[in-house]
A and B are shown apart, each in its own frame.
Chain A
């Protein structure tokens, strides 16, 4: 009946749930489920699995953030809970990704502040959360434990595990009922290897999101795009060690020359264009969560994703 895409897949992407509502013992207004696809992204009527989601990235240490991202945020940027509340109300992303960037400063020691920040953000927004901790093996254990504990019951997505340092993050995810981002540098075999290492720690496959690392548009994006396609393809062909949903972030976009050197109002447009032109392709390659930092990127990405999903201008949660 009619010419349609030729689909001959045997595998399926696993589902991952982020956020716990009251009935699940958390305080989120809703949970977000990603993954579940049996075909290429957006293919099928209706498409299989769950619609890709847009996460908005913010930080507890704005001095480490790109100025293009916070220019329009103003003073709220100095209080992550204010910032998160504003984002939920005005920008309406599907998820919030909180970077505890303060842990990446030299001499960081204020663990209790980390716990307080996580609690305050959980108070301020009811959206499901992704939380990024330290990236220093010496700190990981205490930082991830602190985050895990402070967010217990909320089923957050914790980041980020890498092949050289994954035990602390995995332990915190398991102990406190969270999921984990597994990042590897643009290589399908390394992605697979890390998932196998994580399986050996006891973390179930349905609590992992693969981050294959995203180079900025014009600065390596083509490699990231293809590695996402390859991971998705292998998973659909039946490789269960790669059958986890993908997460992709445009974090590097706001530091590229084209964005840095744009001025005034053009700077916002350049930032939004660079995020849009890498994150929408990322969803077409297979990403289930795409992450942006410029507040004005969210609405455009959401409506583009909605139209790709079912032809509508928007899709409810």
Chain B
């Protein structure tokens, strides 16, 4: 739990000197409590206040960055166990694994695929995030060669997977400056791995047999000067995995065990149930998900699940109400009414584009509710439609006076006609049928 503003206020010097950039100590305390300011901004904190505030304002799950540039992956900074409590923030990165036994050409093909593949949904591009390189051969040269093949193609975030520090160093000598995740330090070799992490400024994944030894190992790494850590919880046993990831999230956000306050990494290729591990990883607190093989159908479903779980539950993804054009509509083109829920807008827009009929989309404000939900809750009403027609000056955009409304809003058609004076044409329920509908029913 973050400290309350008043508790923080008690710790502050109460000089109201404004040096922190805030008008008073109290407003500064409120910012600190909300995580919107750093304690360092006040030059007069005593040591006691510094330690207490230092601990309580650092996010309970540390923020970690993997990779550099546009595609760099940021994970961590999560605050809650259930998304309905606030929201989950940083989507887990999906890292497709290649091995150092693969010919360079196959590696490159895989990397190009990860770089370029994209699924566009609700106006957002959903992508895979990076590449994991597994050392299977045990040879440093071969590992370096595989990492080199990845580097030749793209600057994607990478996970270097080798237990032998010598092999790891060979990989890092190729791509160490691009901040790959070093995977993984264990109790036996953590000193060497920490040395590499420091030398290259890379985040470090750590791995141990139990959560207790993992917490111990995390403390040891911090003592070595490495505190950008990722906890590896991979297990072929999904029960063990889920219990561990749940425990880590609970211990982290309650600040019960700060040594577990780091993002979680899961190698989903271990138990032969990769779909299930990926699902557990996305829903239950995974941040870096490594997977060997992701068939097309699973890939799409996985990215959609991730998008669903990581949307903000307090507000639906919305678009700005207004008059939108599909193609280059003229004065006799049809006008289709719909709501400002993004999913609805983009679904309808997609089918309209496919129909190749230029038209207008009149988007009314339903506070982001879908058609049926808006009708059921009364957010879509004749008055809303009338106001939108006026506001967006529809009467001057088109020469006709006909409005096509969604099939699911049919009960409103009479009332819309009455209040607006426009003729209402009830469209199909499913937007997939819109092309056929326009062809048959639309005459200006």
Contacts and interface: CB of A to CB of B under 8 A. Distances in A.
Interface of A: 2-6, 40, 42-45, 47, 185, 217-223, 225-226, 229-230, 233, 257-258, 260, 262, 266, 269-270, 272-274, 276-278, 280-281, 284-285, 300, 303-304, 307-311
A221 B308 contact: yes
A185 B373 CA distance: 10
Contact of B247 (A5, A260, A281): A5
A219 B254 CA distance: 33
B273 A273 contact: no
Given A225-B308, A226-B83, A277-B305, A5 B250 contact: yes
Closest 7 A/B residue pairs (Cβ): A311-B237, A304-B276, A277-B301, A273-B297, A269-B297, A3-B211, A222-B308
Contacts of A304: 238, 273, 275-276, 279
A134 to B, nearest CB: 21
Contacts of B166: none
Given A3-B260, A42-B242, A226-B82, A277 B279 contact: yes
A40 B298 CA distance: 26
B198 interface: no
B300 interface: yes
B274 to A, nearest CB: 10
Given A229-B82, A308-B242, A276 B275 contact: yes
B82 A217 contact: no
Contacts of B239: 42, 45, 47, 307-311
26 contacts: A2-B210, A3-B251, A4-B211, A4-B247, A5-B243, A6-B251, A6-B254, A42-B242, A42-B243, A44-B243, A45-B239, A218-B343, A225-B83, A225-B283, A226-B82, A233-B82, A258-B304, A266-B296, A273-B300, A277-B275, A277-B298, A280-B276, A280-B279, A304-B273, A307-B273, A308-B242
A226 B80 CA distance: 13
A308 B280 contact: yes
Contacts of B279: 276-277, 280-281, 284, 304
B378 interface: no
Given A218-B307, A281-B305, A2 B243 contact: no
Interface string B399-431: 000000000000000000000000000000000
Given A2-B210, A277-B279, A308 B238 contact: yes
A308 B215 CA distance: 24
A6 B256 contact: yes
B26 interface: no
Interface of A (DSSP majority class)? helix
Nearest to A223: B313
Nearest to A253: B301
Contacts of A40: 246
B340 to A, nearest CB: 16
B444 interface: no
B243 A43 contact: yes
B30 to A, nearest CB: 29
B331 interface: no
Nearest to B376: A185
B318 interface: no
A71 to B, nearest CB: 15
Contacts of A270: 297, 300-301
Nearest to A285: B283
Contact of B304 (A43, A218, A223): A218
A221 B283 CA distance: 12
Contacts of A3: 210-212, 215, 247, 251, 257, 260
Contacts of B343: 218-219
B43 interface: no
Interface string B269-290: 0010101100110111000000
A160 B84 CA distance: 27
Interface string B313-327: 100000000000000
A273 B301 contact: yes
Contacts of A272: 297
B247 A307 contact: no
B102 to A, nearest CB: 25
Nearest to B83: A226
A271 to B, nearest CB: 8
Given A3-B212, A3-B251, A225-B309, A277 B238 contact: no
A4 B300 CA distance: 33
A47 B215 CA distance: 24
Nearest to B347: A257
B295 interface: yes
A307 B283 contact: no
Contacts of B247: 3-6
Nearest to A303: B273
Contacts of A285: 283
A308 B247 CA distance: 15
A240 B284 CA distance: 26
Nearest to A44: B243
B302 to A, nearest CB: 7
B237 A43 contact: no
Contacts of B313: 222-223, 226
Interface in B45-92: 82-84
A218 B121 contact: yes
B243 A269 contact: no
Contact of A281 (B238, B260, B283, B307): B283
Contacts of B384: none
A175 B369 CA distance: 41
A311 B238 contact: yes
Nearest to B300: A258
A229 B84 contact: yes
Contacts of B210: 2-3
Nearest to B341: A220
Contacts of A273: 275, 297-298, 300-301
A230 B243 contact: no
Contact of A308 (B84, B256, B276): B276
Contacts of A280: 275-276, 279-280
B283 A284 contact: yes
Interface in B319-351: 343, 347
Contacts of A257: 347, 432
A223 B370 CA distance: 13
Contact of B250 (A6, A281, A308, A311): A6
Given A3-B215, A269-B297, 18 more contacts: A2-B211, A3-B257, A40-B246, A218-B304, A218-B343, A222-B308, A222-B309, A222-B313, A226-B82, A230-B82, A258-B304, A269-B295, A273-B297, A276-B275, A277-B275, A280-B275, A285-B283, A307-B273
A310 to B, nearest CB: 6
A52 to B, nearest CB: 13
